[in-house]
Chains A and B, each alone.
Chain A
Amino acid sequence: MSSKSKFGEYGGQYVPEALMPAIEELTDAYERYVLDNEDGFMDEFRGRLRDFGGRPTPLQRADRLSERYDREIYLKREDLVHGGAHKLNNALGQVLLAKYMGKDRIVAETGAGQHGTATAMACAHLGIDCEIYMGRTDINRQRPNVFRMRIHDAEVNPVDIGSGTLKEAINATMRDWATNVEDTHYVIGSVVGPHPFPKMVRDFQSVISEEAREQIREQAGRLPDSVVACAGGGSNTMGAFHEFVGDEEVSLFAVEAGGSSLSIDEEEGLAPHSASLSTGDEGVLHGARTKLLQNSEGQILESHSVSAGLDYSGVGPELAHLVDEERVTPVNVGDDAALEAFHRLSKLEGIIPALESSHALGYLERASETDARSGDVPDLGDLVVVNVSGRGDKDLDTVIEESDRRDIDAAPSMEVFEG
C-alpha cells in the first residue's frame, strides 16, 4: 500500500478481495490515461467536455445578490453543463476511461439522480451498456431523473433495503461490481470510495476551479476572498476547490446539509442531517477511511437532508483531510434555509438552483445576517465565488411540497394551480 492512496490518514482501499484486482487495474489506467495522457485520453476527454458537455461554463456576476449582501458575488454556472449538473464532468471521464480499458458494461449508483442521469447520458453518447442503482426513497423524490435515465436506455434498479437512499445504492452497486468485475466498470459518483476514485473523480471535476480561477482573475482582476460549495460526498466541492487549495489567501467553505437539527438520535440510528465533515468521526465506509456519521459502536447512521444529493453518511477522504488541516472550513445550512435560498435565487437572478446548490447559496444569507448568530459564522470577504453545482428542475416536486409543508416565506403559493 503506497502513500499515493492516502490523504494523511484518510483514504486507502478497504474493499473485498474480489474487487482488488479491478482496483489495481483501474489505478494503473488512471495513472496512464488521466495523469500521463496516454493515447491522448485527456485531450479526447477535454474535447468531448467542450463539444458534448458545453464547457466552459460561465462565471456570472450575480448583480442582485451582490446588492443584497453588499459583496461581489459570482456564480460558477455548473447548472449549464449538459444534463444540468457538474456530474457530467466525472461521468464522461469515467465512461470514456472504461472504454479505453476495454470494459463493456457500466454500473453506477445515484442519490439525487444527477449522477445516474449523467452516467446514462455519457453511456448513450459513447455507446456502452449502463445499469443504475437507486434507493426507493430517492426514486420517489426524484422521478424526473429516473425517467431521463430510462430515456437514455439505462436500466434503473430500485434498492429497497434500509432507508433506500444513497448509502444503500452504493452498497448494491458494489455487490454488482463484485459479481461482474471482469467486464464491468463502476462509475462512482463522488470523491468517495477506494483509491483511485477520490483522486480520479477530483481530477475530472477540477475543471470547475480551473475555469473559475482564470475567469475571476479576468473578470474581477484578482482571486476571490472565498469559494463556497455544497458538500455531500464532495465532488462539486473538490472540483470547485482544487485549483484554489494552493492559494492560501482564498478561504474555502464546504457547506453541509444541516437537515432539521445537528443532533443525533443514537437509539433510532438516525442523524437528522448529513454534516459528516463538521460532526462525524473517523471510520471506514465504502472502501475508504474518512469522516462518517456513526454511533459509538461504529454502526453507520442514516443521514437526512431535504436534498437527496447531500443525503449521505460519509464524505470524500480528501475533504476530511483538508478540514483537519484547517484548509477547508466546514459550515452547514439546514433544510428550511436551503429552501429559502432556492426561492431567493430563482426570484432574484432567474436561476432555479438544485437543492444541493441551494445549501451553498443559503450560506451567503447566513454569513450576512446581522442577528446574534452571525458572530459564530466565519466571514466570506468581499469577493465570493459560489458553485451552482446543478439546476433545480429535478427538485420541483420536492420544493413545492416541502415549501408548503414548512411554510417557507419566500415560496410562491401553488395551491390555486393544483388540479
Chain B
Amino acid sequence: MSGSEREREIESKHESDIEAAFADEPALVSYVAAGDPNAEETKEYVRALVRGGSDVIELGLPFSEPIAEGPTIQQAIRRALDAGMTPDRYFDLVADLDVDVPLVCMTYYNLIYQYGTSEARRASEHASGEAASQRGVEPFVAAAAEAGISGLIVPDLPVDESAPLKEACDAHGLDLIFMVAPTTTDDRLERMLDRATGFVYVQGRLGTTGARSDVSDETHVSLGRLDQTELPKAVGFGISEREHAREIVGGGADGIIVGSAFVDIVASQENVAERLEAKASELKAGALEARAEVPEPERT
C-alpha cells in the first residue's frame, strides 16, 4: 500500500492521535522512565526528545517487578522508584508536560489494577468519588485520560486477559497497544489485531528490552507477517543506532521504538538533554533516509 493510500485508509475511520503521528513519515517512538532521576528532569528530557524529532513519547510508569525489561531499564525503574515516583505523581508529571506529541504510558498490570483500590487513591483529587470506589482498571484509565495520556502499553497483559482494560480504554478514548513477538502464532496475531488500535508494537527479537549491536532477522519475518494490517507497525527491542533505524524502516516498519539507548544517556548524567536531542535526531534521520531510499513495493 502506498503512503497516500495508507493515509486515506487511516482517515476513513476514527484516527487516534497516535495513528496520526505515523501518518506522514516514519515515526520515532522514544521511551524514558518517568522520575529517573526525578520528575522535573524527566520533563526536560521529554522536551529534548521532542525537539530531536520524536513523534510519540513512551513514558514508563515504574513498577517494582519489571519482568519484560533488560538491565538498563530495570535500573532506571529502580532509580525512579527510589526517587519516589508514584502513579499520582506520574499523572501530575504528564499533566504538566506541554508537548504536542502523543504520550503513551508503559507500565505493568498490577499498578493499573490497584489504582482504584488504594487508600491513597481514595484521598486523591484525580477522580470522582464514584470512580475511586471501583475495583478494577477503570479509575486508572480515567486518570490517565484526564492527565493527557493517549495510549497504554502493558507488557504483562496478553490479549487473552485484556478485555476489561480494552473496554475502559475504549470508553476513555485511549489506544491499547499490543506487542507482537517473534513467537506469536497466527491465531494469536489475529486475536490481537482484532483489538489493537494506535500502532502495533513489533518486538524485534526474543528476550527483554536493551540496546544491541545488530538488527535481528526475526524483525523482518515479524514485519512480513503484519502486511495485512492497516495499523502502523513500530519495531522495538535493540535499536540504538542510525543504521538500525534505517534498516528497520527500510524493511517495512512505519516507525521505530527506542528505549535503552536514551535511558543509557539519562543514566550517564552528563549533558543529558543535549545528548538526548542529538540521539533522537540521529535515529529519526536514519528512519527518514530509509523512506527516501526505498521505493514503495508494487502490490500484486
Contacts and interface: CB of A to CB of B under 8 A. Distances in A.
Nearest to A269: B64
A281 to B, nearest CB: 7
A298 B87 CA distance: 9
A296 interface: yes
B171 interface: no
B87 A17 contact: no
Nearest to B183: A21
Interface in B99-116: 108-111, 113-115
Interface of B: 63-68, 70, 74-75, 78, 81, 86-87, 108-111, 113-115, 117-121, 155-161, 178-185, 188, 192, 203, 206-208
Contacts of B65: 167, 171, 285-286, 300
B68 A16 contact: yes
A299 B78 contact: no
Contacts of B183: 18-22, 181-182
Interface in A150-185: 161-162, 167, 171, 174-175, 178-182
A349 B81 CA distance: 48
Interface stretch (A7-15, A53-61, A89-97): A7-15
B206 to A, nearest CB: 5
Contacts of B115: 297-298
The size bracket of the interface on A is 35 or more
A110 interface: no
A17 B208 contact: no
B110 A283 contact: yes
Contacts of A298: 63, 87, 110-111, 113-115, 118
Interface of A: 1, 12-22, 24, 161-162, 167, 171, 174-175, 178-182, 269, 281, 283-287, 292, 294, 296-300
Nearest to B121: A296
Candidate in B64, B86, B157, B192 with the most chain A CB atoms within 10 angstroms:
B64
A15 B206 contact: no
Contacts of B119: 296
B141 to A, nearest CB: 15
Given A20-B183, A175-B208, A297-B115, 11 more contacts: A13-B161, A16-B68, A17-B179, A17-B184, A18-B206, A21-B188, A162-B78, A182-B206, A286-B65, A297-B118, A299-B64
Q: In the A-B complex, list the 6 residue pairs whose CB atoms are closest, starting with the nearest.
A: A298-B114, A179-B207, A296-B118, A18-B181, A298-B111, A299-B64
